[in-house]
């Protein structure tokens, strides 16, 4: 049985009357509460009500201020750097800037923007907040990191550590590599230069492992060795060795030793310290100069076999000590690269170059001083493919002349520097490649003539030695006969 319309009318009027009475009572109660209850007590009851009746949030927000006390907040700077790589297409407002010394634009999120990130299956939200004080003369900047409360340990531990490490990697990739020399003057505008009378300029050498005209397998071995070196900080500490690595680059001039050093610096983002031993007064001066180099750097000592100051150890023992005053000795170098002074810094790479490995004292060549020996030999066919790609934009396999040149190169001795010069002779690819064919054939012919002449010299010297030995033997026999005749 359904209710009648009169019942509906009665119910509606009853509800309205009850609502009006309740509203009037609440207004009266509020007025009395305001008049007779102190403000502090009202605030207490309000907080108590909110605490028990307001639903609790499942999220936790961490505030990361720009400054931490009187110092710059490292986590803030890390977050700013890290979030640059997390900006997505949904972001609506960005800030862009660039200083005169920067080679790239700096991009960051604007006030009020949010960026969502995930870490090990957990979601977090970053918000950039910027506010001014009442006077408008001080701006406060901060990041808000919001996540579920149950993720607190993971976010405050692993995630923030991950953000800091990732930001360091981003900074390393963006930093400009410096080239240091004691012969270079640094202007006041050059910041970040080391002390110790080192001057620096930006290393703008374009060489990379991709453009290096070396055998691909040799390049891979070098890259793998560098990567392993970077990851073994704890290993070196555990075994009690200085975190450094020594390389010896040897081979004829023009085979790319300097280009390889530049490629290593660009790959690692390590500064390069170019040291001329001839500019060093003595072992004490050498020690002071090397102590002023920085971590994460490559120390280069070129043409070490050409430095007359570097004596072999036997000569040092035989000579009077006074004769070595004012000179750099081999013992001085060995003491620095492998003695107690070798542990003064971290992530150091020392590169020695020479055109004549056989001239070096064996003490320099052993592991721990020159750990990796790299033979910078004449160009190979595979190396020529890289040169053709760099200079002509060609794949060496797609041109018939390239195959002919590769066979010629593998059968003679020609340096990458010589081939690079030939590849720059003309804008016409055919003309250039035919010129390379003629050049390599000429080099091969000259090499054959040189070998023939060397062979003739060897044969002539052998004959002369045989004749001398024969003459000495005859003279000796004649002397014996004369002595017997006198008797």
How far is Cα 404 from Cα 215, in angstroms, rounded to an integer?
18
What pLDDT is stored for residue 186 in this prediction?
A: 54
How far is Cα 374 from Cα 23, in angstroms, rounded to an integer?
92
Q: In terms of pTM, does the model score above 0.95?
A: no
Of 175, 205, 190, 197, whose CA–CA distance to 293 is shortest?
197
Those residues whose C-beta lies under 8 Å from the C-beta of residue 385, and which sit 6 or more positions away, are 395, 396, 397, 402, 406
What pLDDT is stored for residue 188 in this prediction?
A: 45
Where do the H-state alpha helices sit in 341-428? 362-365, 381-392, 400-410, 416-422
Say whether 246 sits in a helix, a strand or coil: strand
DSSP symbol at 144: E
Q: Would you give per-residue pLDDT tens digits along the chain (487 residues)?
A: 455 555 545 566 777 677 667 776 667 667 766 766 677 766 766 666 666 555 667 889 999 998 888 888 999 999 988 988 888 888 888 888 877 766 678 788 888 888 899 999 999 999 998 877 666 566 788 999 999 989 999 999 899 999 999 998 888 877 788 898 877 655 444 555 665 578 888 888 889 999 898 888 899 999 999 999 988 888 888 888 888 899 999 998 889 999 999 999 999 999 999 988 877 778 888 888 888 888 889 999 888 877 645 545 555 555 555 554 557 777 777 777 776 556 666 788 999 999 888 888 888 888 878 889 999 988 888 888 889 888 888 876 677 888 888 888 888 889 899 999 998 988 888 898 999 889 888 888 887 776 666 666 666 666 666 666 666 666 666 666 666 665 5
How far is Cα 145 from Cα 157, in angstroms, rounded to an integer?
13
Torsion over CA: 379, 381, 382, 386 (sign)? positive
Cα-based distances in Å from 467 to 456, 462, 470, 481: 16, 9, 5, 21
**Would you say 305 and 356 are in contact if contact means Cβ atoms under 8 Å apart?**
yes
What pLDDT is stored for residue 311 in this prediction?
A: 46
How far is Cα 425 from Cα 178, in angstroms, rounded to an integer?
32
For the structural domain made of 179-375, what CATH number should be given?
3.40.50.300
Distance linking the first and last C-alpha atoms of the chain: 167
Main-chain phi, psi angles of 421, to 5 degrees: -65, -40
- Give the count of alpha carbons within 13 A of 106, CB side only: 12
Please give the order of strands across the beta sheet that includes 297-301.
199-202, 178-181, 271-275, 297-301, 348-354, 244-250, 372-375
Say whether 330 sits in a helix, a strand or coil: helix
Those residues whose C-beta lies under 8 Å from the C-beta of residue 16, and which sit 6 or more positions away, are none
Say whether 380 sits in a helix, a strand or coil: coil
- Domain segments of the chain: what residues? 59-174, 179-375
Query: Which residues are registered as beta bridge partners of 131?
Result: 140
What pLDDT is stored for residue 257 in this prediction?
A: 92
């Amino acid at each position: 049985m359904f209710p009648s319309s009169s019942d509906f009318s009665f119910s509606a009027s009853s509800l309205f009357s009850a609502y009006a009475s309740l509203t009037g009572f609440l207004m009266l109660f509020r007025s009395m509460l305001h008049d007779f209850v102190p403000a502090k007590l009202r605030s207490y009851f309000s907080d108590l009500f909110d605490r028990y009746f307001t639903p609790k949030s499942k999220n936790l927000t961490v505030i990361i201020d720009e400054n931490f006390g009187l110092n710059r907040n490292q986590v803030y700077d890390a977050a700013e750097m890290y979030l640059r790589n997390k900006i997505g297409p949904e972001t609506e407002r960005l800030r862009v800037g660039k200083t005169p010394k920067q080679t790239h634009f700096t991009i960051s999120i604007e006030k009020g923007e949010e960026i969502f990130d995930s870490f090990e299956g957990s979601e977090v939200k970053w918000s950039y907040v910027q506010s001014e004080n009442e006077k408008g003369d001080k701006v406060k900047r901060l990041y808000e990191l919001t996540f579920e409360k149950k993720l607190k340990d993971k976010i405050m531990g692993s995630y923030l550590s991950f953000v800091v490490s990732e930001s360091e990697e981003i900074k390393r990739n963006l930093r400009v590599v410096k080239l240091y020399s004691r012969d270079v003057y640094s202007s006041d505008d050059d910041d970040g230069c080391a002390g110790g009378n080192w001057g620096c300029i930006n290393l703008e050498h374009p060489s990379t492992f991709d453009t290096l005209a070396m055998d691909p397998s040799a390049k891979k071995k070098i890259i793998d060795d560098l990567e392993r070196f970077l990851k073994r900080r704890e290993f070196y500490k555990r075994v009690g060795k200085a975190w450094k690595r020594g390389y010896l680059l040897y081979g004829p001039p023009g085979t790319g030793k300097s280009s390889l050093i530049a490629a290593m610096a660009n790959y690692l983002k390590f500064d390069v310290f170019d040291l001329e031993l001839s500019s060093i007064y003595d072992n004490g001066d050498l020690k002071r100069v090397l102590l002023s180099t920085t971590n994460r750097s490559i120390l280069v000592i070129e043409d070490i076999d050409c430095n007359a100051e570097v004596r072999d150890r036997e000569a040092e023992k035989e000579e009077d000590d006074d004769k070595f005053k004012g000179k750099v000795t081999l013992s001085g170098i060995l003491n620095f690269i492998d003695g107690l002074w070798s542990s003064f810094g971290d992530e150091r790479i020392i590169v020695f170059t020479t055109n004549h490995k056989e001239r070096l004292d064996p003490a320099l060549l052993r592991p721990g001083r020159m750990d990796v020996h790299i033979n910078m030999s004449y160009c190979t066919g595979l190396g020529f493919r890289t040169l053709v790609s760099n200079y002509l934009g060609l794949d060496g396999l797609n041109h018939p002349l390239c195959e002919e040149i590769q066979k010629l190169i593998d059968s003679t001795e020609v340096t990458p520097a010589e081939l690079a010069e030939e590849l720059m002779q003309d804008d016409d690819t055919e003309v250039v490649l035919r010129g390379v064919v003629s050049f390599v054939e000429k080099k091969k012919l000259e090499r054959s003539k040189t070998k023939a002449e060397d062979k003739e010299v060897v044969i002539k010297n052998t004959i002369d030695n045989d004749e001398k030995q024969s003459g000495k033997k005859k003279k000796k026999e004649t002397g014996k006969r004369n002595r017997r005749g006198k008797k």
